[in-house]
Structure 1
Amino acid sequence: MKTYLVIIPARAGSQRLPGKNLRQLGDKPLVGHSMTYAQEEGFEHIVVSSNDEKVLQYAEQVGGVKVIKRPDALAGNEEPVVTALQHAVNQLKKKFKAVILLQPTNPLRPKGLLKEAIATFEREDCDSLMTVSRNERKLGTISNNCFTPYNYKMGQRSQDLEPLYYENGLLYIFKTELLNQGKLLGEKNYPLIVDHPFAEIDIDTEADFKRAELYLKYFK
């Protein structure tokens, strides 16, 4: 795991759930779950990037990670995460084969998923890898108060739907050179399918947080 860099971006200023990165979920705050997950999976190079002094202080207290102070200019609501990753990599003198992105808003991940993702990334020799999960709902659009099925025909059984997948955000892996191009996903991007309740958790609101508490209790 020495050639992989894990980056956990945890900016301040969440509008819908203020202070969410330090919200206590179970025995640790959201950002702590990603830190612990990377450490338990055996990764040596773990970075927490933040413009929030309290997040940086927490990461330093826990130990085992490097903290990088992110400029406020790279932490706005409209700022893409790729600029924070570029900044973090540029602060380090060591070169890495690939970068792993773990978002604090996805604090719950199946055990062993990261090692499986690394093995798949290397076996497939891909530019990037992202985790996805199947969406088995009947979807449609509404126009002029009329509902039009999108991925099925009226009366079609759910089990006969064409498989569709959503980006669950559990983790991303990408070659370091992609960052120089301002990208996270390359042309050869591998979708790693995750069939686990934790893939449903992505925390942006208070309701999301309450749901995460329930999932942590019943599915861990």
Structure 2
Amino acid sequence: MINGKTVLAVIPARGGSKGVPRKNIKLLAGKPLIAWTIEAAKQSAYLDRVVVSTDDEEIASVAKNYGAEIPFLRPPELAQDDTPGIGPVLHALESLPSYNYVVLLQPTSPLRESQDIDRCIEVCREREVQACVSVTLADKPPQWMYHLDGKSRLQPLLPKQPFVARRQEAPDVYVLNGAVYVAQSEWLKHSRTFLTDVTAAYIMPKDRSLDIDSEIDFLVAAELQKSRV
């Protein structure tokens, strides 16, 4: 709870991950991947309830062992490859009404800490905005990015922008890191997205912003976790 407002955390974890099979419960530095997110959430100063939204009984069992609640199993139609990321969050809000804020915590961000969760929530209150999401500094400026045309020729992503030869000359740009999404519950039900022109940003450092999507990401995350112990 923050300033008398209740806060629900939703950790989405479907069983059918394709890039890394059974990714959400694959061991990372001695713990299932999802455990790192549950533990960070449990250490938050503001989260009133931490629930895992899953369609998978094994994931549900693992999540319970680490202190998360499983008040429902997610319907199969909300656990498909093409299910929008907002779907499980809206389903959780329908199943568990009366929370003023909802926080989406993806288990693929195991380096995120409780301070990141709390600071993102605080930004919403301090700036009086409906939503806040975590971002990190982009590795490369968009002026260095291209797409390919039908003949595999380079086409600039920003064709009207002058080329920047040195990274130091480019303005800072930020990318979503997938770690923390916060929104007022009623606002989110209507907007159906965390990302609008009123969404605020909370900047996280690179060493806590890894979003796991491959086996290589697992190896990098494991080494980073070991260095933090």
Whether the TM-score (by the shorter chain) exceeds 0.5 is: yes
Q: 2:193 aligns with which of 179, 183, 196?
A: 183
How far did 1:148 drift? 5.4
Tell me which residue corresponds to 2:91.
Answer: 87
Give the match's secondary structure for 1:14.
Answer: coil
Aligned to 1:4: 7
Structure 1: tracts of 5 or more residues without a match:
none
Change (3 A) 1:131 1:47: same
Q: 1:61 to 1:217 in 2, by over 3 A?
A: closer
- Cα distance between partner residues in 2 of 1:154 and 1:114: 37
Match of 1:14 in 2: 17
Partner of 2:216: 207
Task: State percent identity of aligned pairs.
Answer: 29
Choose from 22, 34, 38 the match for 2:41: 38
Residue 112 of structure 1: aligned partner? 115
* Secondary structure of the structure 2 residue equivalent to 1:89: helix
Is contact 2:38–2:67 with CA below 8 Å preserved after alignment? no
Residue in 2 that maps onto 1:196: 206
- The structural deviation recorded for 1:64 is 4.9
Partner of 1:71: 75
- Paired with 2:133 and 2:163, the residues of 1 have a C-alpha distance of 32
- Cα distance between partner residues in 2 of 1:75 and 1:145: 36
**Aligned length, in residue pairs:** 218
Q: Is 1:53 equivalent to 2:57 in the alignment?
A: yes
Q: Distance in 2 between matches of 1:175 and 1:99?
A: 6
SS of 2:135's equivalent?
strand
After TM superposition, the structure 1 stretch with the greater mean CA deviation from structure 2, 37-46 or 100-109, is 37-46
Q: Which one of 135, 145, 148 corresponds to residue 140 of structure 1?
A: 145
* AA partner of residue 108 (structure 1): L
Change (3 A) 1:149 1:26: same
- In structure 1, C-alpha distance between the alignment counterparts of 2:198 and 2:91, rounded to whole Å: 24
CA separation of 1:64 and 1:14: change in aligned 2, threshold 3 A: closer
Q: TM-score, normalised by structure 2?
A: 0.86
Q: 1:159 Cα shift?
A: 1.0
Q: Using the alignment, how far apart are the partners of 1:145 and 1:87 within structure 2?
A: 42
**Corresponding residue of 1:171:** 180
